[in-house]
Structure 1
Amino acid sequence: MQELDEKALLEYLTAKGAYSPKKIGASNEFTFLANRTGRPQAWKLNHQGEMESFATMPDRVLEVYHSPTGKKSIIASDFEGNEKQQFYITNDKGETVEELVISQDHFHEFGGWSPDEKKIAFASNRRHPGYFDIFVCDVETKTEQTIYETNTNCTAICWTKDGTGLIISLKVSNIDNQLHILDIASGKTRPIGNVDVPARYHSVQLQNDGAIGYLVSDEGRNTMAIASFSLNSPEEIQYLLEDEQWDIEEINLSPDETKLAYSLNQGGSSQLAVYYLKDEYEKTLESIPSGVYQSINWLNEDALLTGVTSSVIPGDIWKVEVSADQSDRLTHITPDSDIAKWWVEPELYQFTSFDGLKVPYFLYGKKHTNQPVMIYVHGGPESQIRNEYNPVIQFLASQGYAVAAPNVRGSMGYGREYVQLDDVRKRMDSVADLNHLVKDLTENHQADKDRVSIMGRSYGGFMVLAAITHYPKLWAAAVDIVGISHFRTFLENTGPWRRRLREQEYGSLENDVDFFEEIAPLNHTDKIEVPLLIFHGRNDTRVPVSEAEQLTSDLEKQNKDVELIIFDDEGHQTEKLENHVLMNTKIVEFVNHYLK
């Protein structure tokens, strides 16, 4: 093991990425987001292909939404990481920016531009902390009108092509939702699909004539597939393209409405493809680098625009010519440098857990026997560790660690059955998966059983705490980032709108407090035998900072080895460069100290 190379670590941490490309009207211009200046901002390319600012906001930019012609744009930004988006408008491609939808104490979710570009739709919890209603805002007069109220989490997806309605989404559980067509004038709704079947629906695309729509769903299926529906009789969807093993993630309808571009999640990496609607023919595109693709746009009838990230690509925007299957990298956010040659691509493995379930994981940096190991647990829990750039994983691998990143039961990407394997009172089965991962690493990859550490963020932080309290002998060190230390106190203190959805996954305050008490890491701190490093953001609206404070206080009373670092200017994510550098420097120093 080497001493910490702070300069090299800084290079890993400051590798910049571009993501979320958005085409501007009918032109070939587009915007994208990049953390080039210390926090994410909106950028574009000039005629020489060089980056220039689209609009600079005082805090991070979460997304940009261009009107159909591209003459107007909405910029979404929050304050100090609190995720309470506010909307700003520019009518001159970022030259000047004005406030549009502002209510600093509330959340806002963008719901699309009206076809005539005079209005936008959005959802907000202004009426009640736990309920999201639908609003329409006139962008000229800046007047707002509530058009739909419901005592649930409701968001707008897009306008109908005639401008008289909205397609809205109602959250049913942590993963499931319903789609409805809302008639703005009458307030009446019609469901899309069978509302009696638990399902996911997203990535809605509408034809210009307003008669046919396309979406991605798992209604009546295990995996997500492409389906069509009629807006005249939307209750029945017809599947067009499906994969029995993998989820289709995103679709985008071509300008001539003859093709659907889509991405397929194959075990954590994306496959880009095009489906020809008339001929029912699919063409996979192989020229684009392997990785994860998001925000697919059609630049023209034969060219796609997408963001690409992978274990060795921090993030760039690529163009793909469909007919020729030729790709071109449009941005170079992180130029090729000496540090890039040390980045490694993971190998994909699986282990057999206690009940015979096959659990996949990525393994980075495996070089020799008796290596120290870091297990990196993703959040969610309905998320997935994917083939994406992670600076800390890469740096630890360069320092001689083997890094295992599992998708334990409950992870997305492997079908509905897999994601529900850890629901409510099956919660600890996913923690048991970690126990069997350690066995697999030591028995089949010759990892050093005395030098195994674990880290995770958000729900991954809970997994860390559960692992070191329920399997205390396995670990040499642990890192908890914005983690849950007790589901009861988490549910009591998180936002009311989040509580209702999370109770579907974790269990409820009404029915499952006994189980929460049984499994809570906070109730088992006496079993912790390893040093613990904790990070949290003061403005976290998802997992309150009290989760970290109560755990730290309890451990300090027992004279346990614990350190808590709170970022007063961060929320659930760590966005600011100086905090990002401090946190990850501390993590690497911490694991080097205890596992060296």
Structure 2
Amino acid sequence: MKLRPMAVAASLLASASIGATAQARPMTPEDVAKLESVGTIAVSTDGSRIAYTTASLPDITDGEDNGSFKQQLKMAYAPMTARDFLPDDISVSGIAFSPDSRMVSFVWADEGEDRAVWGIPVDGGAQRKLAAVEDANVRSYAWAPDGSRIWMLASAKENEDREKQAEAGFNAIVYEEEARLNRLFSASLGQEVDGDPVAVTIPGYVSGFRIAPGGKTAVVDSAPTPQIDDAYTSKRAHVLDLETGKVLRVIETPGKLGDIEVSPNGRQLSMIAGVDMNDPADTTLHLVDVATGTYRALNAGAPEAAVDAEWLADGRLAAVIHKGAQSALRIYNPDGTVAEEHDGGALILSSVEAGGNTLAVEASSPSHPTELFVWNNGSFNRWTRHNPWLSEIDFGTQRTFRYNARDGQEVEGVLIEPVGGAPRGGAPLILNVHGGPEAHDSNGWVTGYSSPGQVAAGQGYAVFLPNYRGSTGYGTAFSKQHTGNYTDPEFTDLVDAKRALVSEGIADPDRTGVTGGSYGGYATAWSSTALSDEFAAGVMFVGISNQISKFGTTDIPYEMYNVHSGKWPWDDWQGMLEVSPIYHVDKANTPLLIMHGEEDTRVSPSQSYELYRSIKVRKPEVPVRLVLYPGEGHGNSKAASRYDYNLRMMRWFDTYLKTGDRDAPLPDSRPELPAGTTGAGKAED
């Protein structure tokens, strides 16, 4: 892997002005492969500096070795001035400041070692190991308020007998019966790291924890097992006595549980959670009385979604709120009343952190991925500028677009027009459908390896990201319209989006396609079968094709029942079959590219096999291809498989959607790669 030299002094991140850029050019898959964004941020307790990470993949288009995301630690002191704080071959996570702000801590695994807590002085010096657990990986940690101890959530202890059995060939896996629970430890910073930290008894499978002021109690997120279904349906907040391990109380929230933060005086929690078991997502902000466990919602019923929250030193609460495709920063008084609210404008805020008098947010926009901003003097001041080469890109106009569905419901989404605008008769249109459906697309940065965005706009396509019924950001009532309605109204919303964009002169009705992953993959499969006459091409990713067999192969059966179907398959076998794309293959005439990770446990690859085989046997004249990614799960994580996906997606749309020719022969099985890429060249079918 190529290593970039470590910066030894502060450097201006924005090294080139827009006025000095080269001639504008369209965005390419190679550009997507090298994007860098702000990963996580931490504000020092005195507010004097902000530590953050940059998240990026190896640039395989430039010959770097394939791999997953790496995060490099950086330090910012003022707008547009920052410096690397560690060599870029040290990829870290879990950054935080010590209570006295003199050290930045992080989780890292030195070569040949397990992941441990490390620290580096803010005024200079080498990193050193602060705390570790023998033969275990530290997953997360927290400082004691006085800085004397570090609490660590570590992986389960290795079972030596089980390892010996596996080495002897007895490596059978007993499905869902070999749960391995995390452990909690406390280590004094004065002791040797090789000594034994003190273990603390914790309930069930703990996935996160926060130390309360005073250091005597903690708030832990705990579920009965590590199964993802329990994380969705049974995770609760527990107030734990750190000395005895006794659970003092359980916050009995009825639905999904998200971000939890402890107030400066330790008397309240902020908690983003669902309002009931059938709430599709944790989007409602609550205040919790720690002494009694009682809680109350602050924004229940509002057409919005709480995304992140952070207590301020004066006892107020800052929250990032998404309102449809836009966002805002809201400040609550300690009693839960709204003190002030600030519109994000062209920015889409995604997280908030505070320290001293500094309030920092992460935010993206239509022209850049996530960057660091600080709220100051009534505006969001940009502190970082990565990807300066984006100033070379000729972007398509991006805006919020609203339309009325056939039943009168207003639906919103994000529209990217082709670079230069739509031609007479409309441009080829790609509907990019988000998953969930308990998610939403905001009018920020929307281009990624599986999201065509500005790459497609640069090639003459219009792209629309619809926040169809079931999406978050518009209130719980809007998202609950999905429950028990697998395909209607949410998938008829897609057809209505197409028709609205055609009527505006933006889209060509005969050259409209669909793509998406997970539930968006289900939407693609449905659009390519049941609604095939409406759509000229589809690219389906980790999608659903059979709602009956999906139930038997997924790791979220109870979540499916609670917030999606509202019934079990055996309650209505025929009904479940009729909302399955395989049932409608006889209607299929849409060229369909199907892609899936071989290790996907959320939506089994068998879902893609089923649809592929059904089309091949029942409609052999319809172009269809199945591509599997070894080692990948519910979404691709490696640089090579992400880049490969982007190339295949765009080549499929170029072959069938841009031309409108549904009978075109299959494109090359391996898209041509750049010369610097390992394995460059074509392979014949």
Task: Give the TM-score band, short-chain normalised.
Answer: 0.7 to 0.9
Q: Tell me which residue corresponds to 1:582.
A: 644
Task: Return the alpha-carbon distance in structure 1 between the equivalents of residues 272 and 410 of structure 2.
Answer: 26
> Cα offset for 1:405?
1.0
Moved more, 539-548 or 308-317: 539-548
| 1:190 and 2:249 aligned | yes
Report the secondary structure of 2:149's partner residue.
coil
1:329 to 375, 382, 397: 382
2:117 to 63, 85, 89: 89
Return the letter of the residue paired with 1:14.
K
| 1:293 and 2:349 aligned | yes
> Cα offset for 1:214?
3.1
**2:303 and 2:476 in contact (8 A); partners too:** no
1:147 to 188, 198, 201: 201
**2:75 and 2:82 in contact (8 A); partners too:** yes
| 1:160 and 2:219 aligned | no
Task: Return the alpha-carbon distance in structure 1 between the equivalents of residues 134 and 495 of structure 2.
Answer: 47
Name whichever structure is richer in strand by fraction: 1
Return the letter of the residue paired with 1:378.
H
Return the letter of the residue paired with 1:52.
D
Q: Tell me which residue corresponds to 1:137.
A: 185
Return the letter of the residue paired with 1:316.
E
| 1:52 and 2:109 aligned | no
> Cα offset for 1:10?
2.2
Q: Tell me which residue corresponds to 1:451.
A: 511
Return the letter of the residue paired with 1:430.
E
Report the secondary structure of 1:470's partner residue.
coil
| 1:394 and 2:445 aligned | no
| 1:305 and 2:360 aligned | yes
> Cα offset for 1:57?
6.5
Q: Tell me which residue corresponds to 2:554.
A: 494
Return the letter of the residue paired with 1:259.
R
Return the letter of the residue paired with 2:496.
H
Q: Tell me which residue corresponds to 2:587.
A: 527
Return the letter of the residue paired with 1:215.
M
> Cα offset for 1:476?
0.6
Distance 1:46 1:440, change over 3 A: closer
> Aligned-pair RMSD on alpha carbons?
3.9
> Cα offset for 1:30?
0.7
Cα deviation code 1:492-514 (max 9, x no counterpart): 3334xx34333423444664655
Moved more, 63-72 or 430-439: 63-72
> Cα offset for 1:31?
2.0
Distance 1:134 1:16, change over 3 A: closer
> Cα offset for 1:191?
3.4
Task: Return the alpha-carbon distance in structure 2 between the equivalents of residues 96 and 110 of structure 1.
Answer: 17
**1:65 and 1:75 in contact (8 A); partners too:** no
Task: Return the alpha-carbon distance in structure 2 between the equivalents of residues 241 and 429 of structure 1.
Answer: 26
Report the secondary structure of 1:306's partner residue.
strand
Q: Which has the larger radius of gyration?
A: 2
Q: Tell me which residue corresponds to 1:351.
A: 404
TM-score (norm 1): 0.82
**1:120 and 1:138 in contact (8 A); partners too:** yes
Q: Tell me which residue corresponds to 1:248.
A: 306
Q: Tell me which residue corresponds to 1:479.
A: 539
Task: Return the alpha-carbon distance in structure 1 between the equivalents of residues 332 and 379 of structure 2.
Answer: 17
Distance 1:112 1:129, change over 3 A: farther
Moved more, 406-415 or 482-491: 482-491
> Cα offset for 1:382?
0.9
Q: Tell me which residue corresponds to 2:262.
A: 206
Distance 1:241 1:43, change over 3 A: same
> Cα offset for 1:317?
1.0
Task: Return the alpha-carbon distance in structure 2 between the equivalents of residues 379 and 126 of structure 1.
Answer: 36
> Cα offset for 1:389?
1.5
Task: Return the alpha-carbon distance in structure 2 between the equivalents of residues 154 and 412 of structure 1.
Answer: 27
Return the letter of the residue paired with 2:52.
T
Distance 1:206 1:177, change over 3 A: same
Unaligned runs of 5+ in 1: 78-85
> Cα offset for 1:137?
2.6
Distance 1:132 1:249, change over 3 A: farther
TM-score (norm 2): 0.72
| 1:593 and 2:655 aligned | yes
> Cα offset for 1:131?
6.3
Distance 1:35 1:254, change over 3 A: same
Cα deviation code 1:557-583 (max 9, x no counterpart): 453412222232433333333333222
> Cα offset for 1:521?
2.0
Task: Return the alpha-carbon distance in structure 1 between the equivalents of residues 572 and 150 of structure 2.
Answer: 48
Report the secondary structure of 2:398's partner residue.
coil
1:15 to 30, 35, 43: 35
Unaligned runs of 5+ in 2: 1-24, 60-68, 160-175, 188-192, 224-229, 659-685
> Cα offset for 1:181?
2.1
